Chains A and B, each alone.
Chain A
Amino acid sequence: MEHLSAAGLLPTSARSLAPLRLWRPTSIADAVVCLKHCEAPVLLAGGTDLVAQFNEGLSPRSLIDLSRMDAMRQLHQRDGVLQIGSLVTHHDGCGNAHLRSRLPGFVRAWARIANPRIRYRGTLGGNLMARRTRYEGALLLQALRAKLHFSCAEGTEQVDVDALWRGALPERALLTAIELDTTDLLAFDYERSLRPLMTQALAVWRQPGGLQLILVLATEYLPPVTLSVRLAGLSLPQLAPRADAIARDLLSGLPSSFADAQVTSDYARRAGAALLVRQLESLHV
């Protein structure tokens, strides 16, 4: 429902939209011009989240349909850096043979989010730009240290994934691609057995002289929190025997403010540690 600040709640929906004007750019250059100059624009990718936003009161005047932006549907690799176009659907991304061999852990996780019906239409970019704490794309990509590529009329910009939650995104900009440099990625695992209460993505990175663990946790109502630790002198097989201590130490850094209506911070710390132990004990790339 839409919350009118003084008067109350309004049951808006797609049916209560004011007439929209439609633009269908075919290039990024055209798209950013639309974004800059159109009145109250909104971007349409798969559209699976957009309708929910109409129910929540979003009332655009301009609809920018990205379905003709083939450039944003590409998946390629150059010099060890992967670029996933923001319009790649969950279904197509998970079916990409190259991605499956490069990042099997990520693809396994990506293939579980939402449901089969939504995965056909939903895009990775749409999942991120919805900025819903219960959507899982951001968690996965944050652990993988992804960079988000934006274009706007003034130029391009790259931001970290957590910019989604800090309100630090460029204005009137188009997310064009998600970049993954996984040269130093040793292992990735996504734990979602406690969903929707909480889930966590673990990435293990090679570092000079050791390893870095990145653990990104999120609950249904809280944006993701990143915990990381550098472990000098350790290699991947040495994590499992030390799992209890590593997990306890890492999770002790979880802020006590990490609590919502369903999960206490104490629970997140304990259960997160228990899950992390299991993740460390069964690591693969």
Chain B
Amino acid sequence: MSDTASPIGGQSECALRLTLNGTERSLTVPVERTAADLLRDDLRQTGVRIGCSRGVCGACVALVDGVPAATCAMFAFQLDGCAVQTIEGLAKSGQLHPVQQAFVDQGAFQCGYCTSGMVLLTKALLEQHPQPDRATICEWISSNVCRCTGYAQIIAAVEQAAARLAAEETA
């Protein structure tokens, strides 16, 4: 164990408050709990998928304060004070978000395991770049791995969603 000059702090649990899909949640978690496990197991967001468990594949991506983050590569306590959006928080009253609808329309998923992460990544991309060119789309989508689609239909979905969101904006 540590010697006499032990620094202050050293908690083994953290109390956290976060907003999950618009609803405030509070809970206490062990320090070592990952954000992905918190979301999946404690907060029942099983749409957060575990793929590589090391922040590479992006299947576990959720939006943390609007920014796409691999939740398997975060500790749960790092979500304290954050607004978190998972795939479960996208559709409103049974109506799919334009990004979700675009993925359906363009056949942009097959096995579906990467889909939660890809959809949220796309949402964040379009918030940063409402009219992304193809190079920007490819650069962003390269944050996540899809083994099924070969990406072409995902790119088409991003383009459709961009157009739909732009149309809603001007409507």
- Asked whether any CB of A lies within 8 Å of a CB of B in the complex, the reply is yes
Asked if A249 CB lies within 8 Å of chain B CBs, one says no
Separation in Å of the B155 CB from the closest CB of chain A?
15
Check: A10 CB closer than 8 A to any chain B CB.
no
Interface positions, chain A 6-29, Cβ under 8 Å from B, are 13-15, 17-25
- Choose among A15, A25, A30, A47 the residue that contacts B37 (Cβ–Cβ < 8 A): A15
Does B12 contact A37, Cβ atoms closer than 8 Å?
no
Q: Assess A38 versus B68: contact at CB under 8 Å? Given A15-B37, A115-B143, A117-B144.
A: no
Chain A residues with CB under 8 Å of B68's CB are 116-117, 120
Contact with B along A116-139 (1 / 0, CB 8 A): 111011000000000000000000
> A138–B111 Cα gap in the complex (Å)?
38
Which listed residue (A20, A115, A116) contacts B32, Cβ 8 A? A20
Which one, B17-25, B52-60, B97-105, is touching chain A? B52-60
Q: Are B12 and A21 in contact (CB under 8 A)?
A: yes
Interface SS of A by simple majority: mixed
27 contacts between A and B (CB under 8 A): A15-B34, A19-B12, A19-B30, A21-B11, A22-B9, A22-B11, A22-B12, A22-B77, A23-B7, A23-B10, A37-B6, A37-B7, A47-B73, A47-B74, A48-B55, A50-B73, A52-B55, A55-B53, A63-B32, A63-B75, A65-B77, A65-B78, A67-B78, A116-B139, A117-B68, A118-B143, A121-B67
Interface residues of A (CB under 8 A from B): 13-15, 17-25, 30, 33-34, 36-39, 44, 47-52, 55, 62-63, 65, 67, 115-118, 120-121
